[in-house]
Chain A
Amino acid sequence: MTFDEIKSKLKNHTIGIAGAGGLGSNCAVALARVGIGKLIISDFDIVSESNLNRQYFFRDQIGQKKVIALKENIKRINPEVEIITNDIKLNEKNIVEIYKDCDVIVEAFDLAEMKKILIETCLSELSEKPVIIGSGMAGWGNSNDIKFRQNENLYICGDEKSEIAVDNPPLAPRVGIVANMQANTVLEILLAK
């Protein structure tokens, strides 16, 4: 497929991004660059200085709502992408309402508790929908431990073991690998259609 053919396929699709932190911001930017049609991005947080070691925000955006700042950054890269933002904390109820019409959902939370809520809600109420999870990416090095596998409609990206801790923080390189692996999986699903 040429890039023009790829873009013309991607522009008809909608991707849900659940969380606009390290995974969500980088995955959304990658999808915008290749010409995805529409992104539905949800996050309740604001940009802080500690986010800048891995998240797609700029120093002068500290204090802004993440969804607003991310929309602005994506528009500067590709103004063609339609972006719906929800400044909201996701839960079992609103996940279904917000993401039910997406072609694929990208799980992009920080906390394992939230990852679990999203996955369980999708498995029980949106079971036909592909969900791409990021799990295990803290620290540095060990690139070969980061892998991809599919379990029915769940697609799992990450090393599935490196948990964040004070002495094992999430950092741009490994978080970026996983975020881009999630974006790459979106393409794999959409371009196979």
Chain B
Amino acid sequence: MRITLNNRPESFDKEKISISELLKIKNYTFKMLVIKVNSKLVKKDAYNIFEIKEGDNVTVLHLVSGG
């Protein structure tokens, strides 16, 4: 399947993947993330069950402390 991840095209050899799998594949190990799929917020407790499918637009925003 093909998706858009942070404005860039990405392809995976699976029909669908969970957000947790995506984070693992992409090696996103940051602690504080905000994730949107097709403009809708997905909260952390849904990362294991929320499925990303063909054509989805995924935003992973990484937050760092300081201010």
Chain A positions near chain B (C-beta within 8 angstroms)? 19, 21-24, 108-113, 115-116, 119-120, 123-124, 133-138, 151-152, 154, 156, 158, 160-164, 170, 175, 178
Contacts and interface: CB of A to CB of B under 8 A. Distances in A.
- Please report whether the interface of chain B is mostly helix, strand, loop or mixed according to DSSP: loop
B64 A136 contact: yes
A120 B34 contact: yes
The 9 lowest CB-CB distance pairs between A and B, nearest first, are A112-B32, A164-B66, A123-B41, A163-B64, A112-B63, A23-B67, A112-B65, A110-B67, A138-B66
Nearest to B41: A123
11 contacts: A24-B67, A109-B67, A120-B43, A134-B66, A134-B67, A135-B66, A160-B64, A161-B64, A163-B64, A163-B65, A164-B65
Contacts of B61: 119, 135, 151, 154, 156
B48 to A, nearest CB: 18
Nearest to A179: B67
Contacts of B27: none
Interface residues of B, number: 16
Interface in B30-59: 31-34, 36, 39, 41, 43, 59
Interface of B: 31-34, 36, 39, 41, 43, 59, 61-67
Contact of A115 (B39, B41, B63): B63
B37 to A, nearest CB: 12
Contacts of B41: 120, 123-124
B36 A19 contact: no
Contacts of A119: 34, 61, 63
A29 to B, nearest CB: 15
Nearest to A137: B66
B32 A115 contact: yes
B31 A112 contact: yes
B3 to A, nearest CB: 16
Given A120-B41, A152-B39, A156-B61, A113 B67 contact: no
